[in-house]
Structure 1
Amino acid sequence: MVGVIKNIFIDNWDEFEELNRGNVRSIVYKEIKKMLNCGSLDMGYIEFKCEACGEIKKVGFRCKSRFCTSCGKKKSEDWADEMVSRLIRTKHRHMVFTIPKELRNYFGKNRKLLALLPQCASQAIMSWFKDLNKKEEFTPGIVAVIHTFGRDSKWNPHVHLLVTEGGAGKFTVWRKVTHIHYESLRKRWQKLLLDALELNLINVKKQFRKLKNDLYKKLKNGFYVYGKGEVKTAKQAAKYVGRYTSRPAIAESRILKYDGKRVVFYYERHEDGVRVEEELDVLDFIGKIIRHIPEKNFKMIRYYGIYAKNTRHKNKFFKLIDEKVAEFKKKMKNWETRILVTFGVNPLDCPNCGRKMKFNDIVYYGVSVKEKLKKQIFISNEKKIEQLMHDYGVIKGIIRDKIEPVFA
């Protein structure tokens, strides 16, 4: 079944592409093409066969695009599980570091600047922890997720973080920290980000410096930081992390109406929780959501402090979720199990006789891997047989012109 977002692009992408030729990023073309061909048998499929009755089932390859509502949801769940498996057994705090609207367009024009968001936010947190004790230099664990959209799907870069309520010191194994001075954190975040932007915006340095001074005057308490979300369990952590990772800018369930020309969707306003319905021309809707497709290989999730890849604290603490449990959950994420758990039906049960279907072939763009391998094996074995026959003939003296003459 094709989702409404995919239908919107099937119906209107060609027109949008023609009207915006030269103004669309190359990665967007690639991701849209992948999404539109997701599950198409023309692109390739896995073939299963029932040995009892000969029934064949073809399962098309998924696109694995973060923009695809189906694949993006799975990717979000997989990333959430992977991240939760890294967390240590302690309380975490869910924090959100935001930026004023005056800065948003800088990140839209230069997407590489988005990397500054988790970098500066984590620096603000780690510097505060280290200031608790200069000798100990306590280091927390931080998982940072970059987000480019708000609830209304508009361009609104910010960063979500899971932060340990405590840190590892140089001499003390762990110090519990339940209170963070948010005013101090806000001012650190403001200074670190504005300084980093100034260093990177060389072409508009004079213009940005004026804006920087204006923002210091306007926002004397720093940029807004939210940090009231307490995370105590692995289940809560997965919920928080899964909500903000690798998902499209809008869920299918939030689209109320699409008539081929207009799209009606809703969101809950952050300020007061009021449900707001918005109606857009379909081409404006497409432009709105493709803006949030990240650049190729750009990491939307970053790890800092004791969660950094090469940290000396890596194996010092108990994990929030047992490693064997995490591995088992990973194995249970395969295609067959996911459908069985979701719909209560095993997709590999033969629809004719009920027997279990078995893997039979992989087909890429109409080319059977099974037949290709058979051909390669046949050619390889044919050459081996020819060589063996030749060697046998030489040994038996059948091929005389290949034998050196023997003189008495």
Structure 2
Amino acid sequence: MSNAATRSCAYQRRRPELTHCFQIIAGHLNTFISEREAEQRPLPDYVVKEFEAYLKCGILAHGFIRLKCTTCCDEKIVAFSCKKRGFFPSCCAKRMAEAATHLTQNVLPLVPYRQFVVSFPIPLRYWLHTNKRFASEVFGLVTREIHRHYLHEAHDAGIVDATPGTICFTQRWGSALNLNPHIHLLCIDGVYTRYGDVARFRNLEPISDEEVASLVESIANLVRSLGIKRGYLGKDGDIVLNPTLDPLFQDHESLTAALAASISGKIAFGPNAGSYVRKIGGGFGYEGEVPLAKGKRCYSVNGFSLHTNTAVNTHARDRLYKLIEYIARGPLSNDRLEIIANGDVKLALKTLWSNGTTHLVFTPTEFIEKLVALTPPPRSHLVRWSGVFAPNSPYRKDVTLRPEIKKGFQFGDDATEGEKKGEFKNYTWSKMLAQVFKIDVTTCPQCGGDLAKVCAITDPMEARRYLKHLGLDYEPPPRAPPRHEQGEFHFESDDWSREHLS
């Protein structure tokens, strides 16, 4: 299976320093960090490290690998990537392609699939992001309800000892760069059962509109009850302003302010603090979140929505690959960004909003603020496996395509003994470029010979010396110093939460 282009393309080294996203962050990150420190609300270390890694990702001055042709001795260099999982367009694209390739080639059996997309009320999104235990409970509850639907259908069809299968992907963002934790569940559209020692798939009737309506209502009621039990909602379902947060968020007011503003579509810092994000397009309409349009197998109730109309049949593996790419995609594309004449950032929306809005406008520091809110906290799971795909499921080795592959691609005959025993690796950039775009970075563009790795250059002085010898930029792109007027800042976190989460 391949979703590559039909013709081969030449590899061109990416130049992140030429993109609008890089230029905005390099030009204004120090200002944003300095302003938060002046307010005595410094950013958490994991956020700062994420941005610092982005500014080094793909930059030759920070290290690279030397490749040399075994035939003509021509050389090529490839910059290191950061492999972070936040907002970086390039690394997120690699993770997206890696997930789609791994799942379709190594994991997902040849059966039909259906996507369930569940979104949550705006106030609950804050707690889903700031408390990992609560988020895990909510996402597990949703998965169990979907499994309960399949088990009920199996029971009605006379199928006993049935087991569904689901892979749950967490997306933390919306198309407006707003914080919007929601989940995409890739479900086997049927169940597995055992006949002796054999795991056999059984088809079920597609979910109906009435069943979708019942399912989303059940999810809404159960999540509401859980929120009351855990102290995130009052007995009447009202939002509680001071429930338990993870320690990381308790200690960083700047982060919680950015999160609250991101969820509500407002600005947290600077002269526009408290204002809604500026919009370009229609002159009137609803200024809050645009509600999901109801359609076939799509229902919403009390702020919860459930969409289940995307299904893939057994043999449409190309379509399954594209669906997983969509589910595993990153939050930002460089193509959607534009720096306008006054230095502000214009973000193109993927679809026209119901009020006519086509673009959003941010100052550079407002744009960075939105990326801060989208940076995933450390040790937070983005993918969860359930049912026949669960790590402890007795079905897992029987239904997955290649159970010996835990992660990455199958090693060939030249693999080391350790690799053959299970020391698996992620896909490399070269594998992903070949898989998706038919770009082979291991072949010499001059003579067609094989490119072999010579060494990895990690020492800055050695990298500088080698790049200078080649006539390439040997200095990392410059970063602008802080540019803001020192002054007094007044901030009351309780007032902020009350205003933006009510």
Letter in 2 for 1:226: H
In the alignment, the residues of structure 2 paired with residue 255 and residue 277 of structure 1 have an alpha-carbon distance, to the nearest angstrom, of 10
**Alignment match, 2:454:** 360
Deviation per residue, 1:180-217 (Å, 9 max, x gap)? 3112211221133223333443xx564785449xxxxx
Q: Aligned in 2, Cα 1:273/1:210: closer, same or farther, shift over 3 Å?
A: closer
**Alignment match, 1:349:** 444
In the alignment, the residues of structure 1 paired with residue 306 and residue 445 of structure 2 have an alpha-carbon distance, to the nearest angstrom, of 54
Moved more, 312-321 or 34-43: 312-321
Residues 33 and 42 in structure 2, CA contact (< 8 A), matched pair in contact too: no
**Alignment match, 1:182:** 212
**Alignment match, 1:9:** 25
Q: Secondary structure at the match of 1:310?
A: coil
Q: Aligned in 2, Cα 1:153/1:208: closer, same or farther, shift over 3 Å?
A: farther
**Alignment match, 1:254:** 336
Residues 162 and 193 in structure 2, CA contact (< 8 A), matched pair in contact too: yes
| TM-score, normalised via structure 1 length | 0.74
**Alignment match, 2:228:** 198
In the alignment, the residues of structure 2 paired with residue 96 and residue 53 of structure 1 have an alpha-carbon distance, to the nearest angstrom, of 52
Q: Shift of the alpha carbon at 1:28?
A: 1.3
Q: For structure 2, list consecutive stretches of 5 or more residues without a partner in the other structure.
A: 1-14, 241-299, 413-423, 463-502
**Alignment match, 1:388:** none
| TM-score, normalised via structure 2 length | 0.62
Given candidates 124, 147, 165, the residue that maps to 1:141 is: 165
**Alignment match, 1:126:** 147
> 2:118 matched to 1:91?
no
Q: Shift of the alpha carbon at 1:151?
A: 1.9
Q: Secondary structure at the match of 1:143?
A: strand
Deviation per residue, 1:56-79 (Å, 9 max, x gap)? 543221111123211111111101
Deviation per residue, 1:315-361 (Å, 9 max, x gap)? 4447499x8x974899996444655674867565376x876553222
Residues 312 and 320 in structure 2, CA contact (< 8 A), matched pair in contact too: yes
In the alignment, the residues of structure 2 paired with residue 349 and residue 173 of structure 1 have an alpha-carbon distance, to the nearest angstrom, of 47
Across the aligned residues of Structure 1 and Structure 2, the Cα RMSD in angstroms comes to 3.8
Residues 336 and 348 in structure 1, CA contact (< 8 A), matched pair in contact too: no
In the alignment, the residues of structure 2 paired with residue 265 and residue 231 of structure 1 have an alpha-carbon distance, to the nearest angstrom, of 32
Q: Aligned in 2, Cα 1:272/1:319: closer, same or farther, shift over 3 Å?
A: farther
Q: Aligned in 2, Cα 1:169/1:52: closer, same or farther, shift over 3 Å?
A: closer
Deviation per residue, 1:283-341 (Å, 9 max, x gap)? 111111221111123221111111212211224447499x8x97489999644465567
Q: Secondary structure at the match of 1:160?
A: strand
In the alignment, the residues of structure 2 paired with residue 228 and residue 196 of structure 1 have an alpha-carbon distance, to the nearest angstrom, of 27
Q: Aligned in 2, Cα 1:250/1:111: closer, same or farther, shift over 3 Å?
A: farther
Deviation per residue, 1:47-101 (Å, 9 max, x gap)? 2345777665432211111232111111111012222332222111111111122
Q: Aligned in 2, Cα 1:152/1:88: closer, same or farther, shift over 3 Å?
A: same
> 2:165 matched to 1:82?
no
Given candidates 371, 374, 379, the residue that maps to 1:292 is: 374
**Alignment match, 1:395:** none
Q: Secondary structure at the match of 1:20?
A: helix
Q: Aligned in 2, Cα 1:316/1:74: closer, same or farther, shift over 3 Å?
A: same
**Alignment match, 1:223:** 304
In the alignment, the residues of structure 2 paired with residue 8 and residue 350 of structure 1 have an alpha-carbon distance, to the nearest angstrom, of 34
Moved more, 277-286 or 253-262: 253-262
**Alignment match, 2:179:** 155
> 2:341 matched to 1:244?
no
Deviation per residue, 1:371-401 (Å, 9 max, x gap)? xxxxxxxxxxxxxxxxxxxxxxxxxxxxxxx
Q: Shift of the alpha carbon at 1:46?
A: 1.7
**Alignment match, 2:92:** 72
**Alignment match, 1:104:** 125
Q: Aligned in 2, Cα 1:307/1:367: closer, same or farther, shift over 3 Å?
A: farther
In the alignment, the residues of structure 2 paired with residue 105 and residue 306 of structure 1 have an alpha-carbon distance, to the nearest angstrom, of 31
Q: Secondary structure at the match of 2:332?
A: coil
Give the length in aligned residue pairs: 357
Residues 388 and 399 in structure 2, CA contact (< 8 A), matched pair in contact too: no
Letter in 2 for 1:236: R
Residues 143 and 163 in structure 1, CA contact (< 8 A), matched pair in contact too: yes
Given candidates 15, 18, 30, the residue that maps to 2:49 is: 30
Q: Aligned in 2, Cα 1:268/1:40: closer, same or farther, shift over 3 Å?
A: closer
**Alignment match, 1:311:** 393
Q: For structure 1, list consecutive stretches of 5 or more residues without a partner in the other structure.
A: 213-218, 369-408
Residues 94 and 429 in structure 2, CA contact (< 8 A), matched pair in contact too: no
**Alignment match, 2:36:** 20
Q: Shift of the alpha carbon at 1:138?
A: 2.8
Moved more, 123-132 or 334-343: 334-343
Letter in 2 for 1:78: E
Bigger Rg over Cα: 1
Greater RCO structure (CA 8 Å; 6+ sep):
2
Letter in 2 for 1:229: T
